[in-house]
A = this chain, B = another copy of it.
Amino acid sequence: MGQAARAAARLMARASTAAKNRALRAIATQIEAQRAQLTEANIRDMQAGLAQGLDAALLDRLELDNPRIDAMIAGLLQVADLPDPVGEIENLHYRPSGIQVGRMRVPLGVVGIIYESRPNVTIDAASLCLKSGNATILRGGSEALHSNQAIAACIVAGLRASDLPETAVQVVGTSDRAAVGALITMPEYLDVIVPRGGTGLIERVSREASVPVIKHLHGVCHVYIDDRADPKKAFDIALNAKTRRYGVCNAMETLLVAEGIAAEILPDLAAAFESRGVELRGCERTREILPRCLAAMEADWTEEYLAPILSIRVVADMEAAMAHIARYGSGHTDAIVTEDYSRSRRFLTEVDSSSVMVNASTGFADGYEYGLGAEIGISTDKIHARGPVGLEGLTSRKWIVLGNGHIRQ
Given A232-B405, A408-B240, A360–B99 Cβ distance below 8 Å?
Answer: yes
For the residues of A in contact with B, the DSSP-based class is mixed
B399-A358 in contact (CB<8A): no
Given A101-B371, A364-B99, A364-B406, A398–B106 Cβ distance below 8 Å?
Answer: no
Looking across the interface, which residue of chain B has its beta carbon closest to that of A371?
B95
CA A407 to CA B240, docked complex, whole Å: 6
Total contacting residues, chain A, CB less than 8 A:
71
CA A101 to CA B101, docked complex, whole Å: 29
Q: Which residues from chain B contact A241 at a C-beta distance below 8 Å?
A: 407
- The answer, yes or no, to whether A191 is at the interface (CB within 8 Å) is yes
Q: How far is the CB of A235 from chain B (nearest CB, A)?
A: 9
Q: Which residues from chain B contact A14 at a C-beta distance below 8 Å?
A: 346, 349-350
B350-A382 in contact (CB<8A): no
Q: Which residues from chain B contact A407 at a C-beta distance below 8 Å?
A: 236-237, 239-241, 244, 360-361, 363
Interface string of A53-71 (1 = CB under 8 A from B): 0000000000000000000
CA A101 to CA B372, docked complex, whole Å: 11
- Of listed A13, A240, A350, A400, residue having the most chain B CB within 10 A: A400
Q: How far is the CB of A273 from chain B (nearest CB, A)?
A: 15
Q: Which one of B371, B396, B405 contacts A383 once the chains associate, using CB atoms below 8 Å?
A: B396
Q: Which residues from chain B contact A405 at a C-beta distance below 8 Å?
A: 230, 232-233, 236-237, 359-360
B398-A356 in contact (CB<8A): yes
Contacts A/B (CB < 8 Å), 10 sampled: A95-B370, A95-B371, A97-B364, A101-B370, A192-B382, A241-B407, A335-B401, A355-B399, A361-B406, A386-B398
User: 7 closest A-B pairs (Cβ-Cβ)?
Assistant: A360-B403, A233-B405, A240-B407, A363-B408, A357-B401, A384-B384, A355-B399
